[in-house]
Structure formats: structure tokens, C-alpha cells
Amino acid sequence: MSKILAITGAGAMSECMRQINPDVVPAFPITPSTQVIEDFSQFVADGKVDTEMITVESEHSAMSACIGAAAAGGRVMTATSSAGMALMWEMLHIAASMRQPVVMTLINRALSAPINIHADHSDSMGARDAGWIQLYAENNQEAYDNLIMAPKIAENMDVRLPVMVCMDGFIISHCVQTMQLEDDDKVKAFIGEFESTYPVLDTENPATWGALDLQDYYMEHKRAQHMAMKNAKDVIEKVSADFADIFGRKYELFESYRLDDAERVIIAINSVCGEIKEVIDERRENGDKVGLLKIRSFRPFPYKEIAQALAGVKVVTVLDRSESMGAYGPLFVEIRTALFDAPEKPMVYNRIFGLGGRELFMSDIHDIFEENKTYLETGKVEKMFDYLKVRGG
């Protein structure tokens, strides 16, 4: 039976994994993703799933085992965070290039040094070029829903790419929120049976995965991978539409919140969007035409669709919760690219916030809207790039 329950974001992910009942889960625990694997291993111990759980000696091994198990012909899931994913680095690329539909929960956390266990997006943004589909979530309901959809997106024959389902560490992973937990059978029916491609355990039809590619073929394989990622855009939309039909919650590649007549818009990712919506509602009461564009799919990135959604907007503030030292934030770079061909370009500028879990309060978001109001009035972006809430300016 579907039910409303109070659960942490991490707990919601392990419940979802229980419902999916993957063939193999290789994992190595790391804060703040530990609870996902901790709860799931309890399900394994209690016989609530048939999953082969492999407790490995590192995250590099965890992702290696994921790839091996997927190539063997199984549905495979895992979870990690921050430095854990950094240690998977080599294997992330291999999972994507070998087109293995591994599904991973990534609880976003800052990278060291100094050591910090709290939320920012430096882990997933650093992995943006690894060839994984990246879906982001504002709260645990969205993260749970994304995880239900992830295998269907990953395993689609026009895609066959790994999917990273991201949420903010602690803010979402460790905070209890109420959400709708769907019926086990309905989730299983939605996802369907796993279909393998050239599984190595099929000894009647021997296949070799991960062989050498020289100058004569490497580029063609990369080109095919690019196509798969492009296909993923339509597949994400299709799977989301099917999901809405069955479960009633609608998702697109990004969420447009009160964008229709908005003059000033914030673009952001993950949990901060909850506060931004509250602030927008408050300001809208006073007739302030502000809105939010919340990214759900960062890879593939919906350039055209975003440009269309921003038509008529005058000022865009892009919030990045990670940095590319010596460059603009990763989200800002994409947004500016998306807007370059727009007939009427809005002013676009970049703010870095929330690194290592630093809070952005509703008053801070009001300040952002005050600042971009000034920009709209003067017609000039005073500061293209700046930090929010850093001492010393």
C-alpha cells in the first residue's frame, strides 16, 4: 500500500532500493550516504530483498564491482558521497563508456581539504563530464521519485547510461520530511524486468567488455555515447510522463516556478530551491515579479528548453553550490551558453554560495532579489561573479 511517512532522504533511497530489489549492490560507506547502505544491508539481512550485497574495500572497488555485475547481466545499484565518488573516478567513466546502466544515489557533499562533510555540489559537478546522467532533487520525495525513474531511464535501449540521483547531504539526506512512499508492487511494475545487453555470463554467446580501442575507433565510440546522452533527454521526459500517469507527481527536465511573467529569476539546484520558493511566494504577495528555474537534469543539459522558459526574463541570477577555480560556476557556464542565442538576452550573473554546507537563509534570498532589482533598474550588472556570505567580501 502506498503511504505517507516521515523519513530521512537517505532512508527514502534505501526504501526505494528495497522496492527495486536490484540483483547486485556493491558498496562502501561514506558520510553522508552511509544510511542508504546501512538500511539496505538490513533489508538484505532480513531477507526482504534477493540482492547480492558486496561489501568491498574501497569505492574504486565498489564501482568496479558495479560495472562487472552490470556487464554480467544484472541490475545494479550503489550509493556514495564526495571523496567516495572521487575515489570512483576512473570507474565512473568506464561505467558510462561501457554503457552499463548502473544507478547510484549520490548524496552531495563537499570535497576536502579542509575536511568537510556537509553539502555542496563539488562532487557531482566535478563528475559532470564522466558521461553519467545527473538528476537532482529539492527534497526527499523528489529524490525518491528520481530513483524510481532512474532504472527505467538508464536501461532504455536508446540510452543505456548510468544515472546519478543527487540530493544535498544532511539537509535532505539526514532530515526527516513527510513523503509518499509508493506501493511496492506498483514500483516494481513501473520499473519492469531488467534486460541485459551482451551479458558475459551468457557463455553460449561469448562477449568481451572493456577491450582496447585505438585511434581508428575511439572517437566513434565517444560519438555514440554522446548520442545516447542526447536520447536521454527525450527518455527522461517520457519516463517522467509515465511516472506522472501512474503516481501523479509531474516532473520535467527542470521546474519552472512562477516563471510565466517573471522579470527576475534565480536558477539553482537542489535543496536551496525550497527556501527560494518560499521567498518568491512572499514577494509575489507584494507584486514583485520574481521566479525560480530549478534544474532537475544537469546531464543531459536542456539548453533550448531553458532558453525558451526564460524568454521575457530581464535578470537571471545563477546560484552555484560548487566552484571551478579560475572560472565561473558550472551551472552559470551552461546557462550563459543556453542564453547566447536568445533573441533578447537577459542580464545573467553568477553567485557562489553554500560551499561546505554554509546556510543560505530566506533573508539572504531576499537580498539576492533586492540586488537583482537594482540591476534591473540601473540596467547594469555591478558584479558578474561574487560569493554570497563569505567574510571579508
Partner 1 sequence: MKEKYKLKDWQDLPIGGVVAEGGNSADYETGTWRTSRPIWMEENCINCLNCWVFCPEDAFILKDGTTKTGKPRKEIESINYYHCKGCGLCAKECPVNKKGKKIAIDYIKEEH
Shortest distance in whole angstroms from residue 224 CB to partner 1: 5
By CB under 8 A, is residue 201 in contact with partner 1?
no
Using the minimum distance from each CB to partner 1, give the nearer residue, 222 or 238: 222
By CB under 8 A, is residue 196 in contact with partner 1?
no
Number of residues near partner 1 (by CB under 8 A): 23
From 93-101, 106-114, 315-323, 340-348, give the range in contact with partner 1 by CB under 8 A. Answer: 93-101
> Among 63, 7, 6, which residue's Cα sits nearest to residue 30?
63
Q: What is the DSSP string of 318-382?
A: EEESS--TTS--HHHHHHHHHHTT-SSPPEEEEEE--GGG----HHHHHHHHHHHHHHHHHT--S
- Near partner 1 in 235-294, by CB under 8 A: none
Cα dist from 37 to 17, 154, 270, whole Å: 10, 21, 22
By CB under 8 A, is residue 216 in contact with partner 1?
yes
Copy the grid coordinates of residue 30: 561514506
Backbone angles phi, psi at 264, to 5 degrees: -125, 130
From 3-11, 38-46, 146-154, 200-208, give the range in contact with partner 1 by CB under 8 A. Answer: 200-208
By CB under 8 A, is residue 211 in contact with partner 1?
yes
By CB under 8 A, is residue 230 in contact with partner 1?
no
Q: Please tell me the distance from the alpha carbon of residue 140 to that of residue 294, in angstroms, as a whole number.
A: 15
> Among 74, 99, 15, which residue's Cα sits nearest to residue 194?
74
Among 61, 64, 100, 134, binds partner 1 (CB under 8 A): 100
Shortest distance in whole angstroms from residue 148 CB to partner 1: 25
By CB under 8 A, is residue 198 in contact with partner 1?
yes
Q: Please tell me the distance from the alpha carbon of residue 335 to that of residue 350, in angstroms, as a whole number.
A: 10
User: Is 206 in contact with 221 (CB distance < 8 Å)?
Assistant: no
Among 224, 246, 327, 390, binds partner 1 (CB under 8 A): 224
140-155 and 184-191 are packed helices; what angle lies between their axes, rounded to 10 degrees? Answer: 30
Give the number of residues written for the chain. Answer: 393
By CB under 8 A, is residue 221 in contact with partner 1?
yes
By CB under 8 A, is residue 160 in contact with partner 1?
yes
Shortest distance in whole angstroms from residue 159 CB to partner 1: 10
Using the minimum distance from each CB to partner 1, give the nearer residue, 202 or 382: 202
User: Is 189 in contact with 272 (CB distance < 8 Å)?
Assistant: no
Q: Please tell me the distance from the alpha carbon of residue 195 to that of residue 193, in angstroms, as a whole number.
A: 6
Among 217, 250, 281, 327, binds partner 1 (CB under 8 A): 217
From 17-25, 110-118, 137-145, 201-209, give the range in contact with partner 1 by CB under 8 A. Answer: 201-209
Shortest distance in whole angstroms from residue 93 CB to partner 1: 12
Q: Which residues bind partner 1 (CB under 8 A)?
A: 97-100, 160, 197-198, 205-211, 213, 216-217, 219-221, 223-224, 227
